[in-house]
Amino acid sequence: MKKVHVFNAGPCLLPQVAIDHAIEALKDFSGTGISVLSISHRTKEWDAVMDECRALWKELLHIPDTHEVVFLGGGASLQFLYVAMNYLEKKAAYLDTGVWAHKALKEAQGIGDAYAIACSKDKNYTYIPKGFEIPADLDYLHITTNNTIYGTEIHEDIDCPCPLIADMSSDIMSRPVDVSKYDLIYGGAQKNVGPAGVIFAIIRKDSLGRVSRYIPTMLDYRTHIDKLSMFNTPPVFAIYVMNETLKWLKSIGGVEAIHEINVRKAKLLYDEIDRNSLFVGTAEKEDRSLMNVCFVMAPGHEDLQDEFFAFAKERGMVGIKGHRSVGGFRASLYNACSEEDVQALVDCMKEFENLKK
């Protein structure tokens, strides 16, 4: 079988051991003789998976007892509404760093007074705004820590005088995070921690119940904390695979270890982009994402784009086409993407350059 190197922006490449265990669970879940697709979520065998998955989240991210983890359906886009419903009372600010950050802001504006505190759209979202003042009286500041389309990332936990909420869909579990600084961290699983179909939310428990509006039962985070993420039938298979993915992450040394690997992977590819005469990066260097490396053909070589796509595809590179709104190339280096995969892409870029000299 031809070797392929997967750089898809999502759903992500998953560790092979998680896939293998999922295949077995499709046939027989935990010795029950029932497929995980058919198992009742009201069984002790499923309770064990939920308990283990929550415990792994808490262990890997060092989540304090002040916070709880819940798993929900609906995707991170639905969480844009959850956030505003549960936290927006008077005024909230959003750091507008890309398409998803802007969509989150739009949902909040449908609920109440929300505005962009800073925005990088003036340069096509190729940098993270800095130096803006954060009012202490905000209900919350919302940030999107990694911007998949434009390849920018907030690399540090910012100090914030008001409650801080973060969409970490595409960099959760890729680097250490000081969870205590956040009232809420949420995101879709399908970038680093599992398949599409489930979201995670890490919630400071005493941050809830502060809005005066009625919150529909399903949109109230307290509902899902109280019912241990099983108020209604959870996305069972997606959670099972998430649990297996987190077990793999723990086995290789956890978040701290994968962060070191991710730094090496990103440096390897960015160094080649900066060296290679045919390519140029699009994000400001200080804000470059470790997860989504975006680049284009260098000026004067734009006509080679389609040829490089074909060249790379022939050598097994999958998923390097940039988002349709920006074009060019994007290699997503999520946790399960190996250093060998990245080296293969670098070698491909070098080979193409040598052919064009």
* Residue-averaged pLDDT of the chain: 97
Catalytic residue chosen out of the listed positions 46, 139, 191, 321? 191
If asked whether residues 144 and 23 sit together in one domain, one would say yes
Question: Is residue 5 a part of any domain in this protein?
Answer: no
Q: What is the rounded average pLDDT of the residues 309-338?
A: 95
Q: What is the rounded average pLDDT of the residues 257-277?
A: 98
Catalytic residue chosen out of the listed positions 96, 139, 167, 341? 167
Catalytic residue chosen out of the listed positions 46, 100, 157, 220? 100
Q: What CATH number has the domain bearing residue 302?
A: 3.90.1150.10
The position carrying tokens 């290789």 is 252
If asked whether residues 104 and 146 sit together in one domain, one would say yes
If asked whether residues 300 and 227 sit together in one domain, one would say no
pLDDT tier at 3, thresholds 50, 70, 90: confident
Cβ partners under 8 Å of residue 311, min gap 6: 348, 351, 352
Across the strands, what pairs with 6? Answer: 318
If asked whether residues 261 and 166 sit together in one domain, one would say no
Query: Is 103 assigned a catalytic role?
Result: no
Of 234, 251, 268, at which residue does a domain stop? 251
Which range of residues forms the domain containing residue 82? 16-251
Query: Is 167 assigned a catalytic role?
Result: yes
The position carrying tokens 């390519």 is 279
Of 216, 233, 251, at which residue does a domain stop? 251
Are 246 and 193 spatial neighbours (Cβ–Cβ below 8 Å)?
A: yes
Of 215, 234, 251, at which residue does a domain stop? 251
Overall number of domains in the chain: 2
- From the list 325, 323, 328, 280, the residue with the least C-alpha distance to 306 is 328
> pTM of the prediction?
0.97
Two tokens, residue 115 = 């505005």
Question: Is residue 87 a part of any domain in this protein?
Answer: yes
If asked whether residues 150 and 227 sit together in one domain, one would say yes
Instruction: Say what the pLDDT of residue 23 is.
Output: 98
If asked whether residues 69 and 51 sit together in one domain, one would say yes
Query: Is 46 assigned a catalytic role?
Result: no
Cβ partners under 8 Å of residue 12, min gap 6: 190, 191, 192, 332, 334, 335, 336
Question: Is residue 240 a part of any domain in this protein?
Answer: yes
**Residue 1 pLDDT exceeds 80:** no
Q: How far is CA 345 from the centre of its chain?
A: 22
